[in-house]
Chains A and B, each alone.
Chain A
Amino acid sequence: MSADPSSAPFLSHDEHHEQVNVQALHAPIMRELAEPRDGYEAINPGWTIAFGVLLFWGGYYLSAYSGDFRSDVFDERRHADAGRKAEQKPPDPLVIGRRTFAGRCSNCHQMDGNGRPGQFPPLAGSEWVNGSPEILCRIVLNGVQGEVTARGVKINGNMPAFNTGPSQMNDEQAAAVLSYIRQEWGNSAPAITAEQVAAVRKETVTRTGPWTEAELKALEKK
């Protein structure tokens, strides 16, 4: 077929002058795909392999992370991590200390250890924190009430006891949190052991109320 439509022999005289483009006329038909046929066609073997691998992986994943489909198993990595968990090291006391501090202490003393002026005393650079371990243990176990001076700032506070009630700490937790505050924010006092806390807890077992600054100062002189 000639590219020049004017040479088409079957066009009438009038049509001849309308310059019909046959290629443009057929273009929509050429764009259509082949009519679908009934029956099946073999698929590309690559897909078979890909879906097979996917199915295999799905099965493995389900068995590894299903938690046995039990309602009282919440760790989906129970099986996958079983080997790794056994060789876990005991947690670093400073990590436990930081955790306990963030949860139970930082609401008042703040994460930067500076407290709040007029409300909560600072721990960073505090003579109490860096001072006698026995007195520090007493403060945490029984709390303090009344006026306290720390880092030259006078505060009339009310620190709760941590040897009882919902926020009580065991010897390890108290030792960890005290060691943490004695070594954070530029403080550099030696760590406190769980045995030291246990000894103070035993000594103060009969005490119920919080301490006052005067009582603690008297202990210091002894």
Chain B
Amino acid sequence: MQRGPLIFLGVFVTFLFGWLGLVFYPQYQLNALTSETPEGSTEAYPRPLDGLAGLGFKVYIAEGCVYCHSQQVRAENFGTDIARGWGDRRSVPRDYIYENPVLLGTMRTGPDLANIGTRQTDETWHYLHLYNPQITSPGSIMPPYRYLFEERKISGERSQNALKLQDEWAPAEGREVVPTDRAKALVAYLKAQNRNQPLEEANR
């Protein structure tokens, strides 16, 4: 090779340029983002997930929800996300500063979940939907997550959190279906998904 050093320098500069533009400069611009208190609110946003919702984050990853559900609302002039009611505003980097890994998702086999906590606040709906999506959303292609629930014999009184399953979904006489701790954590996580707080930069 006659021009080894020159070729090395060319390759090095090419990769350096990419690294500066795609890694270094975004870090420099966005790394210092902090929570903000939106106008008319007394609570800082965003806040780290705590308690049960924090555990649900791990269940969400473990069950692979991210393969079919995204968590990003695109701008109004770039798709139908807002028209579908998936959020009141577009998502911005500040929404994700406490998440690691950030579960933006790449596929939308199912609907976006960036604001599922505002779109469905009812716990019982979430439990029924996870147990079998056909109960609440007929025709859905989402698989049932029955293994997040326990079917057991009713001893004494029926459990308070047992699912109200009807008709073809109902368990056998004298038995009940209750959510496991993993299901409770996952539902707590879903209910905490709220990225609708007004941030000024979302309009820019």
Contact = CB atoms under 8 A, between A and B. Distances in A.
Interface of A: 71-75, 77-78, 81, 95, 98-104, 106-108, 116, 118-119, 158, 160, 165-167
Interface in B94-145: 115, 117-122, 124-125, 135-138
A101 B204 contact: no
A140 to B, nearest CB: 13
Interface string B76-100: 0100001111110010110000000
A74 B121 contact: no
Contact of B118 (A99, A103, A118): A103
Contacts of B120: 107-108, 167
A102 B136 contact: no
B9 to A, nearest CB: 24
Contacts of B59: none
Interface of B: 26, 29-30, 75, 77, 82-87, 90, 92-93, 115, 117-122, 124-125, 135-138, 166-167, 191, 194, 196, 201-202, 204
Contacts of B86: 103
Contacts of A95: 83
Contacts, number: 75
A100 B85 contact: yes
A78 B204 contact: yes
Given A72-B201, A75-B204, A160 B119 contact: no
A86 to B, nearest CB: 14
Contacts of A71: 26, 29-30, 93
A57 to B, nearest CB: 21
Contact of B117 (A73, A77, A119, A166): A166
Contact of B119 (A75, A78, A104): A104
A167 B121 contact: yes
Nearest to B138: A116
A103 B119 contact: yes
Given A99-B83, A118-B167, A166 B194 contact: yes
A116 B140 CA distance: 14
Contact of B85 (A73, A99, A116): A99
Nearest to B77: A77
A75 B85 CA distance: 20
A153 to B, nearest CB: 13
A179 to B, nearest CB: 16
Nearest to A162: B121
Closest 9 CB pairs of A and B: A103-B85, A102-B85, A71-B29, A72-B201, A166-B118, A167-B118, A166-B194, A107-B120, A73-B204
B84 A75 contact: no
Given A75-B77, A102-B84, A106-B85, A119 B136 contact: yes
Contacts of A118: 166-167
Contact of A166 (B121, B135, B201): B121
B194 A103 contact: no
Nearest to B201: A72
A100 B118 CA distance: 11
A106 B201 CA distance: 29
A5 B32 CA distance: 85
A103 B87 CA distance: 7
A78 B77 CA distance: 11
A110 to B, nearest CB: 8
Given A99-B83, A100-B85, A118-B167, A165 B30 contact: no
Given A75-B204, A119-B136, A108 B125 contact: yes
A30 B170 CA distance: 85
Contacts of A74: 75, 90, 92, 201-202, 204
Which of A75, A108, A158 has the most chain B CB within a 10 Å cutoff? A75
Contacts of A116: 135-136, 138
A106 B87 CA distance: 14
A66 to B, nearest CB: 13
A9 B176 CA distance: 107
Given A74-B75, A103-B86, A160 B122 contact: yes
